[in-house]
Each structure stands twice: as C-alpha cells, then as structure tokens.
Amino acid sequence: MSQVMSPHEVVALRAFSDNYIWTVRDASCAAVVDPGDAQPVLDYLRAERLELAAILNTHHHADHVGGNAALLARYRVPVYGPHDERIREVTHPLRDGERMKLPHFGIEFDVLEIPGHTRTHIAFFGGGMLFCGDTLFAAGCGRLFEGTPAQMHASLSKLMRLPDTTAVYCGHEYTLSNIRFAKAADPDNRALRELEARAQRQREQDLPTLPSNIAQEKATNPFVRCSETAVVATASRYAGKALQDPVAVLGAIREWKNQF
C-alpha cells in the first residue's frame, strides 16, 4: 500500500463468518458499506490511518447495520440508507432514482430500490460499482424474508439492466454454496463450471470471490436466468408442473434452494 494510490480503491473487510464490509478508500479517507460490526472497520481505519467519511446501508438487517452506532460514536459522518425506521442511524434516507454524492470521494451513486430480501432494500450504483447488499449474490440471490418472487424478479431485472462491466459487491461470501445449487438448477452451463473452478482457487487462497460483474451474473446466476430453457425445465421438474413465466420459475428455484 505504499505505492502511489489510484484515486480510490475498494477493500473487503470481513465480519462475522461470511459478511463483507466493502470499504471505498483513498490515501486519507474511507467510506464503508454495511458495517454489521464496527470493530473490523475501527481496526482498519487505525492501521491505515484513515478518517471515516460516510456509512452506507443497503438494508436493516443487523449483520449490515449493527456497527453503525459504534462508528458514529467515534466519527460524526452521514449515514445513507433506505427510508426505514428500523435503521435509526440513517441521516440521509434515500429513494429510488435519487442520486447522492459520496462525501470526500465525490463519486455519484444512483439509488435503486430493490425489494425482495427486505421490503426497503436499496442498492448504490456509481463509479462502475454496485453495492447490492443481500439482494444479488454471485450465482444467487437473497432469501425472500419480506418480499415476493415478483418483487425479487423485478429487482434482479433492474440490476441486470446496468452495464455488463459493473463490478458487483455483494454482502456475503456465498459464491461456492450458490454454485453448488446453480449447477443443479442449470446443469449444462459451462460458464458456471468455469466460475466454480475460479472460485475454488480463490477460496483455497482465502481470497474473496467478489466482486462479480453483471455479465458474469447473466451467464451464471440461475435467479436471473429464469427464462432460460434449462432453468425453466429443472424448475418445472422441481415444482411438478410446467412453469410458464419467469416469476414462477424464480419462486420455485428460491424454494428449492431453501431446502437444497
């Protein structure tokens, strides 16, 4: 880290067993996405001698917002998140279509409402990056705790309209277990096998498999491939009837994965 630093870079801080606290940083400042735990952030800021510039929250779950209060006790920074009274610390509630400028970095993020995992889940898209919390995972999607298959389908479709090269920063390291299921739902998908080989190598070296990108998800993620013949076929087999539309397919494979 002693070389000349690019304007900013994104670092994965680990929390709990498989959460990532994505951290945008430059030589002097950092902004964190979904600090479920404050300690890894405080340790990193101290070790790297960085100031905290902002907190971004995608949704209200404790493993994404649990560190907000402890960080705010140390740093007075804005907190960007959804309109949801369950996240008390949000100072700048955001709606779909709004744009925010990340303090210090000046990166402009478009806010996308992407309900499904929770009803108020949002994503931040800007600077070629997407922070999508627990809605879209590499080769998977979040559980439908507060949403319907139709909502999740609409949310994932919205994300798939972003540029193919967009770097996708998901909230958890779930890639290998997602691939294990994806191979059952989309058995002859070659891109999936290639992704599996790469992800296995990365995990053996204890490296994150993320970020993904939109093109990779279109090629490998069964939850965004609910109109593909192969996925429709396996979903129909699981459901015991011919499924007609992608929302029904998504609903079926989401249920299937819950007990896979």
Let me know if 121 is a catalytic residue. no
Facing residues of 61 across strands? Answer: none
User: What whole-number distance in Å separates Cα of residue 227 and Cα of residue 233?
Assistant: 10
CA atoms of 153 and 142, how far apart (whole Å): 11
Torsion angle, alpha carbons of 174, 180, 181, 183, to 10: 130
Contacts of residue 17, defined as CB under 8 A and 6 or more positions apart, other chains included, come to: none
173 interacts with Zn ion by CB under 5 A: no
Quickly tell me which residue has 């979903």 as its tokens. 235
List the x/- string, 16-55, binding to Fe ion by CB under 5 A.
----------------------------------------
Computed on alpha carbons and rounded to an integer, the radius of gyration of the chain in Å comes to: 18
Least distance CB 117 / Zn ion (angstroms): 6
Site residues for Fe ion, window 144-173 (CB under 5 A)?
171
134/196 with CB nearer Fe ion:
134
Active site residue 134: yes
| Catalytic position from the list 63, 104, 121, 186 | 63
Residue 177 C-beta: closest distance to Zn ion, Å: 16
Q: Which residues of 69-81 are buried (b: 16+ CB within 10 A; e: fewer)?
A: eebbeebebbbbb
63 is catalytic: yes
Q: Which is nearer to Zn ion, 40 or 246 (CB)?
A: 40
Out of 37, 84, 134, 186, which one is annotated catalytic? 134
Let me know: does 162 contact 126? Beta carbons within 8 Å.
Answer: no
3-state secondary structure of 99: strand
Active site residue 83: no
Q: Name the minimum Å distance from CB 34 to Fe ion.
A: 8
Among 37, 84, 113, 134, binds Zn ion (CB under 5 A): 134
Q: Is 63 in the site for Fe ion (CB under 5 A)?
A: yes
Map the footprint of Fe ion across residues 117-136, applying CB under 5 A: 134
Residue 153 known to be catalytic: no
Query: Which residues are at the interface with Fe ion (CB under 5 A)?
Result: 63, 134, 171
Residues annotated as part of the active site: 59, 61, 63-64, 117, 134, 172
